Amino acid sequence: MKRILVATSIIVVLFVVFIPQAGAQMDPLLSWNDGPAKQRIFRFVEKVTKENGPDYVPPAECIAVFDSDGTLWPERPLPTELYFVIQRLRQLAPKHPQWRKNPPFKVLFEKNPKALMTLSKQNIEKLMLAAYAGMTQEDFRHEVQNWMATWQHPQLKVGVRGLYYEPMHELLEYLRGNGFKTFIVTGGSSDFVRALSEPLYGVPIDQVVGTEIGLRYKLTGGKSFVVRDPKVTSFENGPLKPVNIERHIGRRPLIAVGNGKSDIETLAYASDRHGMSLCMVISHDDASREFEYRADEVLKPAQERSWLVVSIKRDWKLIFPK
């Protein structure tokens, strides 16, 4: 009896004492190649989380913001949300015969995908509002979830759940494991990204900050709803991203990650934080495994201000989840 008790107790002690260390020895960024990018991330997180260290940052200030399209998942040939918009508009089209003649709607009925890639911001906004307005928040979420269940990326031939960047998923988890609060700050619409932020990225929906459609409180049959109106109240891009970071998050990020021109102001806002910060730019330079396109506008300030440029080709062992 005594022996069993001793043995059991020792097992419990070993369990309590050693499990945390065993966890710490695993590489949290397994899909990243060893090299300067990975090392710089580790060094930064160690510094800001080392209590009593010179660069320690209190947990409440450990805020990390991530752009979505091109940062957490591909944005080529089109941002994923546009595929949803197109499908939704095609569903609605029979009720709107005038769409076949009028731009920008007639683009939906052409067989030329390039026409969709060259739409202006104003025209994208028009399409989005036609697809998104006139329903309750609940119905909209339901529509997105239905679409997600079957949609496949036209070139990569995977669904939403196979489309995100595995190295970014690991980075999000690694940061949260070190006490960071992770946010998605996107030019996409909040409500679309929220439909997938929890299952895909472990980011709670209230930590998604994006483009907002007009919303209105409405009573229908004595029951309260919030319904969607056809106007954009906050198109999240460029200089509006730091503004919406202040509105939703309320402080400068400690870590900011982006990949394009529309992330420059967000990266600068983190970079100008009093004390340390880590700004990362994802460089799409891997034509064989993903897409190759330059973003010189953001690479220039990245070089000038020593932001970390992550080369997909060089720094990512794996791009998509296996």
Residues that bind a second copy (CB under 8 A): 2, 5-6, 8-10, 12-13, 16, 60, 63, 137, 181, 183, 190-191, 194, 198, 204-208, 212, 215-217, 223-226, 239-240, 242-243, 245-251, 265, 268-269, 271-272
Q: Could you say which DSSP state residue 318 is in?
A: -
Q: How far is the CB of 74 from a second copy (least distance, A)?
A: 24
Q: How far is the CB of 267 from a second copy (least distance, A)?
A: 9
Omega before 77 within 30 of 0, i.e. cis: yes
**Nearest CB to a second copy, comparing residues 142 and 294:** 142
For the residues of 60-114, what is the DSSP string, one character each?
A: GG-EEEE-SBTTTB---SS-HHHHHHHHHHHHHGGG-GGGGTSTTGGGGGSS-HH
**Nearest CB to a second copy, comparing residues 226 and 287:** 226
Q: How far is the CB of 265 from a second copy (least distance, A)?
A: 6
Q: How far is the CB of 242 from a second copy (least distance, A)?
A: 5
**Nearest CB to a second copy, comparing residues 71 and 277:** 277
Asked if 208 and 182 count as a contact pair (C-beta separation under 8 A), the reply is: no
**Nearest CB to a second copy, comparing residues 43 and 251:** 251
**Any alpha helices (H) in 178-228, and if so which ranges?**
190-196
Q: How far is the CB of 272 from a second copy (least distance, A)?
A: 5
| Cα four-point dihedral sign 42, 43, 46, 49 | negative
**Nearest CB to a second copy, comparing residues 236 and 290:** 236
Identify the CA nearest to 67 among candidates 182, 161, 170: 182
Burial class (CB in 10 A: 0-12, 13-18, 19+), 62: buried
Identify the CA nearest to 260 among candidates 278, 280, 289: 280
Q: How far is the CB of 26 from a second copy (least distance, A)?
A: 24
Q: How far is the CB of 165 from a second copy (least distance, A)?
A: 23
Q: How far is the CB of 296 from a second copy (least distance, A)?
A: 20
Q: How far is the CB of 73 from a second copy (least distance, A)?
A: 20
Identify the CA nearest to 63 among candidates 264, 273, 241: 273
**Nearest CB to a second copy, comparing residues 61 and 170:** 61
**Nearest CB to a second copy, comparing residues 51 and 304:** 304
| Cα separation values, 174 from 41, 57, 170, 177, 179, Å | 10, 17, 6, 5, 9
Q: Which residues contact 200 (CB under 8 A, 6 or more apart)?
A: 72, 160, 161, 164, 169
**Nearest CB to a second copy, comparing residues 12 and 287:** 12
**Nearest CB to a second copy, comparing residues 194 and 284:** 194
Q: Which long-range contacts (CB under 8 A, 24 or more apart) does 40-46 make?
A: 40/278, 40/308, 41/171, 41/174, 41/278, 41/280, 41/308, 44/255, 44/276, 44/278, 45/174, 45/175, 45/178
